[in-house]
Copies of this chain bind each other. A is one copy, B any other.
Amino acid sequence: MAPKPLDYESLNENVKKVAYAVRGELYLRASELQKEGKKIIFTNVGNPHALGQKPLTFPRQVIALCQAPFLLDDPNVGLLFPADAIDRAKHYLSLTSGGLGAYSDSRGLPGIRKEIAEFIGRRDGYPSDPELIYLTDGASKGVMQILNTIIRNENDGILVPVPQYPLYSATISLYGGSLVPYYLEEEANWGLDINHIRQSVAAARMKGICVRALVIINPGNPTGQCLSEANLRELLKFCFRENIVLLADEVYQQNIYQDERPFISARKILLDMGPPISTEVQLVSFHTVSKGYWGECGQRGGYFEMTNLPAKTVDEIYKVASVSLSPNVPGQIFLGLMVNPPKPGDISYLRFAAESNAILESLKRRAHIMTDGFNSCRNVVCNFTEGAMYSFPQIRLPPKAIEAAKRAGKAPDVFYCLKLVEATGISTVPGSGFGQKEGVFHLRTTILPAEEEMPAIMDSFKKFNDEFMEQYEDYRGYSRM
């Protein structure tokens, strides 16, 4: 009998090629163990509220009032909500046409796009045009739309850092393009070497690939590094010379845990460089309410900003956005709140500032606890998390462990991470899900478990790791020195 259209063998091959490790084998195994009653610490995905982070009070007050606008006419509203939250809710409702239940313009509410443009203007020192800012259901959806706009066929190449966040590899597979990898330098604190990019492009072109876009993730995911101004300048010059679009994933721009390398947007450097680069290089930048210290992942609010894209292209992107009508309106309002938080003097300012600082300071301490913890383990080395919310330690697996993995039919890092979750409940993602150099093994964890639980988690990790190493070590050498 012929296979049916939705039988596995009949599906779109690009769908089958998609790999997405963040919710892959390890996640599924952890979910099973959880069902069996084991306590699981989900550090596989950057999902702060799932690990106990409380939402910021002010934005939630505003959004609750926007969802229940009839409360604004209730004489008791002041008993539950501060006056500035009430004012802000009225402000955002005035930007909608029909409240949160009405579709917005497919690009998002004009008033919110204006607030975002003002935020970008303040951040970069160059004004931003709201007409070039489109809101999305989380940043991932925006990345997917832009890649779908760029990729024409399997000869279109997208430069992606390795290790990378697998949204990129998955989407490139889904839309039938070619991923062109460029390696980050673990020894140089996961820095980016423009010569490696140049070599990757040359190698891809030899294979007939037309390299059309370059993805940067700054601060890095899973690698946590912040790109320097010099690095960004080199990248933009390269994009100019080689006629490549820059896609700047800047969703962790608020998550910075050191002072030497603050976040600088690709757009600021681009505009600093002046013509012809500032007027020629095409750039799309992404941001979200899911990350930063807000961590409002479940609300799915994101945006992208387009620089140097011709009007006809902007119209095409608008047209395709229209097919799914509008991004969710509550998520749009969260974006407005994020770029326009309470200011000194506002009733809610002190509380908001205290809550924000507590989260950011704790993340910084957790970044240190985690890096130090990993570096205290046998055969584990780990760069410091300068930004974002991940730790990506290298695990130097002994040859015997690699052999044992082979016998079990698993990649060595998958083998290690499965043993880890089974022994300790710590659910991580193997480095192979993000890409790593041949013969080198990593895992990714978030730095998000509650600070008070962190020492116990790192103790439990160390105990597991050191016993694992004991069991498989044969003193003839490691997987990599």
Give residues in A with beta carbon < 8 Å to B: 2, 4-8, 10-13, 15-16, 18-20, 22-23, 45, 47-53, 55, 57, 60-61, 63-65, 67-71, 74, 76-77, 79-80, 96-104, 106, 137-138, 140-141, 144, 148-152, 166-167, 170-171, 174, 212-213, 243-245, 280, 282, 284, 290, 294-300, 309-310, 312-313, 316, 319-320, 322-331
Contacts and interface: CB of A to CB of B under 8 A. Distances in A.
A328 B328 contact: yes
B5 A245 contact: yes
A-B pairs with lowest CB-CB distance, top 3: A298-B329, A49-B98, A64-B68
Question: Which of A6, A12, A23, A326 has its CB near the most chain B CB atoms (within 10 A)?
Answer: A6
29 contacts: A4-B280, A5-B213, A5-B244, A10-B212, A11-B149, A11-B150, A13-B152, A15-B148, A18-B323, A19-B319, A20-B322, A45-B103, A47-B98, A51-B98, A55-B99, A60-B67, A67-B67, A76-B76, A77-B80, A96-B298, A98-B298, A100-B298, A101-B296, A138-B324, A166-B323, A170-B323, A171-B323, A300-B327, A330-B330
A8 B310 contact: yes
Contacts of A149: 6, 11-12, 15
A60 B68 contact: yes
Given A80-B77, A299-B100, A138 B282 contact: no
Contact of A295 (B64, B101, B151): B101
A77 B49 CA distance: 24
A102 B6 contact: no
B74 A313 contact: no
Given A100-B299, A137-B328, 20 more contacts: A4-B243, A6-B282, A8-B312, A8-B316, A11-B316, A12-B152, A15-B148, A18-B320, A20-B320, A48-B101, A49-B99, A49-B102, A50-B103, A60-B70, A67-B67, A76-B79, A137-B141, A148-B174, A167-B324, A298-B330
Question: Which of A67, A152, A298, A309 has its CB near the most chain B CB atoms (within 10 A)?
Answer: A298
A47 to B, nearest CB: 5
Question: Which of A2, A5, A50 has its CB near the most chain B CB atoms (within 10 A)?
Answer: A5
A36 to B, nearest CB: 16
A23 B174 CA distance: 27
A8 to B, nearest CB: 4
A249 to B, nearest CB: 14
Given A5-B282, A298-B103, A12 B150 contact: yes
Given A76-B80, A299-B330, A316 B103 contact: no
A27 to B, nearest CB: 9
A63 B74 contact: no
Contacts of A104: 298
A277 to B, nearest CB: 13
A65 B104 CA distance: 24
Nearest to A85: B68
Contact of A64 (B12, B64, B319, B323): B64
Contacts of A324: 137-138, 140-141, 144, 167
Given A57-B70, A76-B76, A295-B101, A15 B63 contact: no
B79 A68 contact: no
Contacts of A22: 322
A63 B329 CA distance: 14
A2 B320 contact: no
Contacts of A296: 101
B309 A6 contact: yes
Given A64-B71, A67-B67, A103-B47, A323 B8 contact: no
Contacts of A57: 70
A96 to B, nearest CB: 7
